[in-house]
Structure 1
Amino acid sequence: MKGHKINLRIKNILQIICNENDYITTAKIAKDLDVSGRTVLREIHDVEKFLNQNGLKLDKKTGVGIKVIGSLREKQIIVNLLNGEKDETIYSPLERKNIIISELLQNQEPVKLYNFTRTLKVTEATISNDLEKTDEWFKKHSLNLIRKQGLGVYVEGKENHIRKAMVSLIYENTNESQLLNLIRQNLDNSVVVAKDIEDSSRNRLLNLIDNETIRKIEVLIEDMEKERNYKLVDSAFVGLIVHIALAIERVKKGDKITIDHEFLKELKRSAEYLIASDLSINISRCFEVEIPEDEIGYITMHIKGSKNYKEKYKTGNKIIGSFELIKLSKEIIKTAEIETGKFLGNNEDLLNGLVNHLGTAITRLKMKLDIRNPLLEEIKTNYTDLMKTSTKCAKVVEKHIGIKMPEAEIAFIAMHLGAAIENSETLIKPIYRVAIACATGMGTSRLLAIRIENEYDNIQIVDIISTIHIAESFLKENEIDFIISTVNIEKCFKPVVIVNPLLFKEDKDKIANQIKNFQNTNIKHSWNKNKKIKFKDKLISLNIYSEAIIQILDNFFLKEIPEMSSVDALIIEASKAIEKDSETTEKIRMALESREKKGNTVVTGHEMILLHCRTDIVQKLYFGAVKLSKGLECLNGEGKIENIKLGIIMLAPEECSALQIEVIGYVSKMLIERVDFLKYLKDGERDYAFNELNDILKEFYKQKVNN
């Protein structure tokens, strides 16, 4: 790459403007980077200099914005180069604060300010200002920040408060799914840190927990689950690993936690103590460290507070019985009815949900374990009335257990009530009849359909169609209100909403706006799920389904490629896997590339690209995958770089029936819903993947037979 060394901020600005086809204002760039507009303007000179040195120009228009002048390919080359460029890290104030807190929590000895100025590349005055902010954070966690002239800074407080602060710091900066991804990667001996924990300040936070320690603990907990037939939910699984990992590090340093003697005696009488005790013995052997009784008590508390109450009204919780939980839940529902004016008394799902949730929540509150709700801020901001209602409902529980309910728990109650209230309202809501469309009708549209079905009770998906086969007569006959498509549709007789297949927030806003447009119209549809099909027609359909299933199984392939330079190169390899004849291979390549130009097919967040098309080159259905051993960096639907580990290839004849498309579309849908299926494909396990595919198609066929 030509040009001088660039810092992270210049690199980020370059990536934003190179990924933008139109003019973009410095204010928008500043908002995206969470800096001031003046800061962006200061960097523009170096941004322009860098572009000039690399053969591109920066066009600046007052009141309009800035734009990179160059072809899409030239801009992509710059983006690719930037991704390989090592930059000088500039930490934001929040990142500096988190790094300082992390270092102080880990160090028993005072830390000199010089250490922070050297690490964070800022002045001592800036560090002093940062320490003022960290002081507030430490006080919130019952810890004191001590600053001594000539000695340095350090944290003072009880061991259990220090550990709680460590856990809070981790959860404030990484959510449970990110931590779970990191833990899973450690188990797979992955060298690369999870993509969504990629900035250096977060990596430093994760130094609170040793990677090798995480890997070993995960194995021990999974062994415990198998031996005891005791399955932890993901949030509890992550929480227990974090707790044990921190405990091991602290015990090794001689920092031991204490627990009330009488409470420990009570814990020892529980079945969970035996589990914790066995787990502690294995931890001691594995890490060559003695786990004291008090530590076993804390592990017991985590296991007790992580029970997954799946059985209706059933709880093994000794702190509060099932009858009391039902009574409490009914009181909450009654309070909610008074506050909202909605009748919820007959909602069995709401009652069952509250009973199951409160069992675990009250256990955690009684044992002073933290309750975390990742949606807390969103609920407080967007559902203020519901939070007020839930706060009044929470007083029912507070009165019973004598403990104030934290906001996170009130937000959980709000989520249960919100779902129930929404369901009660959908009984009188109009139903909107929708067709889901993509370029082929078998790939990204199926993924989108899953999201729509899960997200909306008032949208009925009438059909999943190809954009090239949209007929005005079909839309009229099926009373379609609007179309939700993954690609642009030039001319259409009905309104079209273009969204990403994974349905991000901005996509939901588009759908909401479209629904608002119908509010003044008299739309009255009803669900017709039980439409009867004649026996003869059903047999014909089953025959088509059978034929399609056999084709997919016969033509399945899984190929592994060590290295891949581009999506175009991946398409070439995929085409060769389907057909050996060079002329036919070339035609398949052209068909796949043509589809790819119509819209991005990277499945964001799943390390996968969905290459698919309908073409007259093939006469049968094809489903297969190409495993990319070293990965392939591509732009996803959000315009961000994503490391692709798997290329999914699906082909169908140009004139194949809707029933055939339904079969292969169902397989693409299962890529998201069947975790094992995707895992086996990514791991290159052909036989296991084929067995999963076989089960998926068997399941599909059974559904059709029984309908």
Structure 2
Amino acid sequence: MDRRLRSILKELIQAKKALTSKFIANINQVTPRTTQEDIKKLNQQLLSHGASIQSIKGRGYHLHIEDEQLFRHFLTTALYENKDQKQIPNTPDQRVRYIIQKLLLTMDYLKLEDLADEMYISKATIQNDMKLVREHLSNFYLDIRVKPNYGIRIIGEEMKIRFCMAEYLIQRGSDSNGNIYDGFIRLPKEQTDFIKQTIIAHLEKQHMTLSDIAIQNLFIHIAIAVLRIQNGHPVDNDANPKQEITHTKEYKVAEKIVGDTEQELGVIFPPTETSYVALHLLGTKILTTADIEKNQDIESLLDPAIYELVIAILDRIELEMHLNIRHDRDLMINLGLHLKPAMNRYKYGMNIRNPMLESIKKNYQLAFQAAVHAGVVIEKYTEVTIDENEIAYLALHIGAAMERQKLKQGPKRCLIVCASGMGTSQLIYYRLKTKFNGKMDIAGTTEYYRLSTYPLDDIDFIITTIPIHEDLGIPVVEVNAIISKDDLQHISSYIAGTPSNVIRDFLQEDYLFLNQSFHAKEDVLAFMVSEIESDDLKRARFLESIYEREKIAPTAFGNLVAIPHPLTPQSQQTFISIATLTEPIPWTTERTVQFVLLLSVKKNSVEDLQPLYEMISKLIEHPESLQKLMQMTDKASFMSMMETLERL
């Protein structure tokens, strides 16, 4: 089964409702007619394996499973078949990856005509693909050299070529046996086993502890070094960091790992290669639990420069996002221990891939945004720009601190504001006390005219029977004088951390733009910002801040969805604006977008935005709902369906 059919099958398995051919076509970047042909081919394969694809008039395609056991057996072979089997790339993305892989493995001239023949495409098509190839390679500071009558080849520094190989030739999330492959490259299993076992054995001897990911990155580095040395491409001695680290313990361990590898695999590592292996080890030692517990002074646990950087990061996150994690001791230690080896990687331009990147961006959006702010601080202090792989690692530490903060929080404290007299306020007091005993702490009651003199420092929110228009700095929940079931549900939702209606609170119909026709993300963003009616919003700065955020980490999250937002708050109110497009547009070289949700958080916001991010996650996770939204032309129906999606 080719990649396109596997992609369709995965979408159908995950969807709870029928998917249209247009939606599937956009995912695979082909025409709806091609998708219809693909559906026929896929259905023929499924019919004899306990399932079928049913066409539902007016709705699209739905996967129907008749024999669960037979179908599951089919999946184990169809979706996860031998990855050595040669696949013909179908989409521009797949072709770009294929071309880069071929060039990296050959490291010699290849003719475009030969590459086009291999992929069954025209010369014009591959010439268009080459523009994207150059864009991808430029991320690694590599380029393409063209030689008449010979073809094309990759040129650039050796270490940059290796970083590119780690990205394009190693299967993401490689298996526990240590195999590294992608249909293009494979070291013998006994060699990969030996490399990994050698790394672990020497670390244990020296009582050095690395994370699983750090070990995997070191393993990949050595495996690629073996391949490159075998093909006559050692690291240039001019880039040698050896003199700075030759006397460290990490360098001695690297020498032992390299020595065993040389003896077993029959290759010779120049001293430069040993230095780069040592850089993977330098600073990665982790303090034991006993070390941390016996030393309560965080400043003495961390290097002074790292401690200063951690404090600056947490100050920036608290200033911009008010997550209340500024004094989380575990976060300070974990960030410090993570950043120490990271500084060495940045110093020598060693990129680290994060196999969890996409999952973190989708599931921990608030933590990822906080990590983006951390990245800005790191760039200011180190003058080195970190990529979204590293940002995602920082997001994991921040996300853990956010979860710890939730566990520490006791019952929320509220104040009741009532204008109907003592009898009504007491009735509300005891009604809520009975309903939410242990879940909410009622600080007391007050009349509206006394509210300005009431101390609100330890109050989390206000419950009021009359409208309160001024900004008190804390949330206000309006209810009826005689508490109804809906009022109780409203309060219960707030206590649980979920606003009663995210869409109603943050999305206006005036900020909804359906079935727009644009060809570039710059056009749609400029349009959306220009249509926002707000006296306090400086549109030029607003748009500039959006691009600053995009530069750090693109906001395309998959399933044709992008969530652009300013790097720093620019508005006086939190709001969202949505644009759906008639056709997908390129957002990055790897992702297309058809649903744009522009998010703006108000300056100095103390709102709990987690429910908003959870609602956004539902968009990404429910493609069947998303495709319906993108087909709608009526704003009221769109808003109604968004509210339905929010309640899922």
User: TM class, shorter-chain normalised?
Assistant: 0.5 to 0.7
Q: CA deviation at 1:293?
A: 1.0
1:179 to 150, 160, 174: 174
Give secondary structure in 2 for the equivalent of 1:235.
helix
1:256 to 220, 234, 246: 234
Q: Does 1:111 align with 2:110?
A: yes
2:60 to 60, 65, 68: 65
| 1:523-672 → structure 2 map (5 Å cutoff) | none
**Structure 1 partner of 2:160:** 161
**Structure 1 partner of 2:202:** 224
Q: 1:68 to 1:230 in 2, by over 3 A?
A: closer
Whole-Å Cα distance in 1 between the matches of residues 117 and 2 of structure 2? 17
Q: CA deviation at 1:52?
A: 8.6
Give secondary structure in 1 for the equivalent of 2:195.
helix
Mind listing any 5+ residue stretches in structure 2 that lack a counterpart?
296-300, 413-434, 440-486, 497-648
Whole-Å Cα distance in 2 between the matches of residues 275 and 297 of structure 1? 11
Q: Does 1:203 align with 2:182?
A: yes
Q: CA deviation at 1:104?
A: 0.7
Q: 1:373 to 1:79 in 2, by over 3 A?
A: closer
Q: CA deviation at 1:292?
A: 1.0
Q: CA deviation at 1:331?
A: 3.6
Q: 1:356 to 1:120 in 2, by over 3 A?
A: same
Native 8 Å contact 1:26 1:37 kept in 2 = yes
Native 8 Å contact 2:203 2:253 kept in 1 = no
| 1:425-504 → structure 2 map (5 Å cutoff) | 425-428=406-409
Higher deviation after alignment, 46-55 or 402-411: 46-55
Whole-Å Cα distance in 2 between the matches of residues 338 and 80 of structure 1? 49
Whole-Å Cα distance in 1 between the matches of residues 62 and 18 of structure 2? 5
**Structure 2 partner of 1:627:** none
2:491 to 498, 508, 520: 520
Q: Aligned Cα RMSD in Å? A: 4.6
Native 8 Å contact 1:18 1:78 kept in 2 = no
Q: CA deviation at 1:164?
A: 1.8
Give secondary structure in 2 for the equivalent of 1:181.
coil
Q: CA deviation at 1:169?
A: 2.2
Q: 1:97 to 1:517 in 2, by over 3 A?
A: farther
Native 8 Å contact 1:386 1:414 kept in 2 = yes
Native 8 Å contact 2:240 2:272 kept in 1 = no
Whole-Å Cα distance in 1 between the matches of residues 346 and 74 of structure 2? 49
1:330-370 deviations in Å (ceiling 9; x for gaps): 34333433334455454222222222222222232233322
Q: 1:11 to 1:392 in 2, by over 3 A?
A: closer
Q: CA deviation at 1:328?
A: 3.4
Whole-Å Cα distance in 2 between the matches of residues 261 and 156 of structure 1? 17
Q: 1:517 to 1:368 in 2, by over 3 A?
A: farther
Count of matched residue positions in the alignment of Structure 1 and Structure 2: 414
Give me the TM-score of the superposition, normalised by structure 2: 0.53
**Structure 2 partner of 1:240:** 218
Q: CA deviation at 1:127?
A: 2.6
Native 8 Å contact 1:309 1:359 kept in 2 = no
Q: 1:14 to 1:224 in 2, by over 3 A?
A: closer
Which AA in structure 1 matches 2:130? L
**Structure 2 partner of 1:267:** 245
Whole-Å Cα distance in 2 between the matches of residues 271 and 33 of structure 1? 50
2:341 to 350, 357, 360: 360
Percent of matched pairs sharing the same residue: 25
Which AA in structure 2 matches 1:337? E
Native 8 Å contact 2:113 2:123 kept in 1 = yes
Highest relative contact order (Cα 8 Å, sep 6+), 1 or 2?
Answer: 2
Q: 1:235 to 1:23 in 2, by over 3 A?
A: closer
Q: CA deviation at 1:53?
A: 9.7
**Structure 1 partner of 2:254:** 276
Give secondary structure in 1 for the equivalent of 2:183.
helix
Native 8 Å contact 1:180 1:238 kept in 2 = no
Which AA in structure 1 matches 2:303? S
Native 8 Å contact 2:335 2:394 kept in 1 = yes
Whole-Å Cα distance in 2 between the matches of residues 125 and 38 of structure 1? 22
Whole-Å Cα distance in 2 between the matches of residues 411 and 57 of structure 1? 39
Q: 1:157 to 1:75 in 2, by over 3 A?
A: same
Q: CA deviation at 1:241?
A: 1.2
Whole-Å Cα distance in 2 between the matches of residues 55 and 386 of structure 1? 42
Whole-Å Cα distance in 2 between the matches of residues 232 and 95 of structure 1? 34
Give secondary structure in 2 for the equivalent of 1:146.
strand
Give secondary structure in 2 for the equivalent of 1:257.
coil
Which AA in structure 1 matches 2:492? T
Which AA in structure 1 matches 2:334? G
Q: 1:389 to 1:224 in 2, by over 3 A?
A: closer
Give me the TM-score of the superposition, normalised by structure 1: 0.49
Whole-Å Cα distance in 2 between the matches of residues 11 and 355 of structure 1? 42
Q: Does 1:333 align with 2:298?
A: no
Q: CA deviation at 1:157?
A: 1.7
Whole-Å Cα distance in 1 between the matches of residues 401 and 337 of structure 2? 15
Which AA in structure 2 matches 1:287? L
